[in-house]
Amino acid sequence: MTSKRFIPIAKPIIEEDEIQAVIRVLKSGMLAQGEEVKLFEQEFAKYIGVKHAVAVANGTAALDLALKAIGIKEGDEVITTPFTFIATANAILFQGAKPIFADIDPKTYNLDPNDVLEKITSKTKAIIVVHLYGQPADMKAFKEIAEDHKLYLVEDAAQAHGAEFMGKKVGSWGDIAIFSFYPTKNITTGEGGMITTDNDKLARKARLLRDHGQTSKYVHEILGWNFRMTNIAAALGRVQLRKLDKFNSIRKRNAEKLTQSLSCIKGIITPYVDPRVKHVWHQYVIRIEENYPLSRDQLMNYLKESGIGTAIHYPIPIHHQPLYRKLGYPQDICPNAIDASKKVLSLPIHPLVSSEDIEYIANKIKEPLDDQ
């Protein structure tokens, strides 16, 4: 029997102050990119600790423009992870360049610096590091690799708003970084993205690229696109940004409670946290091993019937996607990513999940063991 209770895997928190901020913009009549976007950029840059933030229409646009800004072109190679959302690799294809996949660390699920070193060639121009699930990658190692090999370092922080590595926020470590404000993210603008950088030239180019290459009205210096953010989205984002640290603290509390309850369960591997990082828990991801009574799919169905939403992030490594198979990528590379794709399962810990919900989730995962 299906439970009447339902705990979704993700849900945006939109309160009265967000609604009033959007209404204020609607009443102003200034709906497109304008002063609200400028203020959001300034506030976001200050929060991350960088000189520049460039707001765009979505996270995929941010990735595309970031790579265009650093000059990635046809014939170049860019190293990244196959264990993430496909937009990260597709942004490389958009430039006519070639994604080169390095394997992940099986504990953090982030890109493995040692494998990245093995993949560097004379054609390598950049590394895109993804801070997966809200846990920062080893930015000390990646910064050293990038500097030693004269490569651009790009941070995909789409899932890591407010996360820190060694006390410094992600989005401020690389040459350029991107964030997404999709509704499932730690903060949202509905759709939206942000590029962050300390580099004046990269920021200027990103601003030109997002707005038809305009230096001033009807003066177009370069070929550009319309990837602008609206004032409506920015107004929502400004309110959400003020709540981000609170949201993240609730996620952390929920994650710690869930780990405490699940860590003793045979066949369930709870998330590993690098002691050098501040994890912001975009996703809470367990690993289902063979000695757990149910398969991952069986557990998903069992939890669904119990009113608990789950998801798999990510069930198919990028190099196994039909598009990348057609492009000729070997299927046996990155074994850690392949193994993780078969075992990971995300559980709800977003700020609307209560302590009672956490207890309920943990008890439901324990139940199949009671039947043995």
Question: Mean pLDDT over residues 253-269, rounded?
Answer: 97
What confidence tier does 369 reach under pLDDT thresholds 50, 70, 90? confident
324: preceding bond cis by omega (within 30 degrees): no
Structure confidence at residue 372 (pLDDT): 61
Q: What integer best gives the mean pLDDT of the chain?
A: 97
| CB of 348 closer than 8 Å to CB of 308 | yes
Question: Mean pLDDT over residues 47-59, rounded?
Answer: 98
Place of tokens 């196994």: 320
Q: Which two tokens stand for residue 7?
A: 């705990």
Residues, the chain:
372
The pLDDT of residue 34 is above 70: yes
Instruction: List, for residues 241-260, the tens digit of each pLDDT value.
Output: 999 999 999 999 999 999 99
The residue type at 166: M
Mapped onto helix, strand or coil, the DSSP state of residue 367 is helix
Residues in contact with 369: Cβ distance below 8 Å, sequence separation at least 6, in sequence order: 265, 266, 292, 293
Q: Which CATH number fits domain 244-370: 3.40.50.410, 3.90.1150.10, 3.40.605.10, 3.40.800.20?
A: 3.90.1150.10
Question: Mean pLDDT over residues 217-235, rounded?
Answer: 97
The pLDDT of residue 371 is above 70: no
Identify which of 231, 283, 287, 237 has the alpha carbon closest to the alpha carbon of residue 106: 287
User: Where along the chain do its domains lie?
Assistant: 16-240, 244-370
Structure confidence at residue 110 (pLDDT): 98
Q: Check: CATH 2.60.120.10 for 16-240?
A: no
CB atoms within 10 A of CB 304: 14
Whether 16-240 shares its CATH topology with 244-370 is answered no
The residue type at 56: V
The residue type at 62: A
| CB of 82 closer than 8 Å to CB of 331 | no
The pLDDT of residue 1 is above 60: no
Instruction: List, for residues 171-211, the tens digit of each pLDDT value.
Output: 999 999 999 999 999 999 999 999 999 999 999 999 999 99
Instruction: List, for residues 10-27, the tens digit of each pLDDT value.
Output: 999 999 999 999 999 999
**Range 310-335 burial, b when 16+ CB lie within 10 A, else e:** bbbbbeebbbbbeebeeeebeeebbe
Q: Count of alpha carbons within 13 Å of 2, Cβ hemisphere only?
A: 8
